Amino acid sequence: MLTAIEAESFHIYILDIVMPMVSGLELGQEIRRLDREAQIIYASTEPQFALQAYAASPINYLIKPIEKQQLFDTLNLAISKADIAEEQTFAVKTADSLRVIRLSDIATCEYRDHAVIFILIDGEEVLSRTIRENFLEYCTLILKDRHFLQCHTAFIVNMRRVERFARDSFTLYGDRVVPIASKQYPAVRDAYMDFLLGKGENR
């Protein structure tokens, strides 16, 4: 394993404490020495090593048996922190899986019935599971990308996909219409103009 990580870096590592040849504690510290950006997750039946494990700055220390929700949440965090394929991604927990979507593939996000619908540029719709947080909190990572703008309480738009801009809506390529809240129009207009002029920066 040590030879492998010296030869090639990985975005995410899931380590146990008890491992053949080398302990997970040693391996985690060596990974951190070689790669400060790697996302390390510990999954072990040994809770007594949790404090020592944090020397490698893992994002979580999971105790087996691991609850599915806890694993999904940890993987979601790891994926959002990892710059996979040098392109930002967002992990969506659907009814039956964890779907990783490239931000550039998202045309718009819509909040409806306590879930989020991701409309992709190819027309596919990806429906999240019921979310506990509010829409803005759930989409925080998306909105940090300068290409995305919340134009309505229930809508976020990828400004790269906008074909027409009006006072009450954006029309995207493919003729999908995304509403603009009237009270938000001045801020939306200014943000979109800044984007077109190249003034926007990742937030």
pLDDT at residue 159, rounded to an integer: 93
CATH number of 1-82: 3.40.50.2300
Class of 85-203 per CATH? mainly beta
pLDDT at residue 85, rounded to an integer: 42
Give domain limits for the chain: 1-82, 85-203
Higher per-residue confidence, 100 vs 2 = 100
pLDDT at 94 over 90: yes
Lowest mean pLDDT among 30-34, 119-123, 126-130: 30-34
Residue pLDDT, tens place only, 16-70:
999 888 899 999 998 887 777 789 999 999 999 999 999 999 999 999 999 999 9
Q: Judge whether 30 and 9 are in contact, CB under 8 Å.
A: no
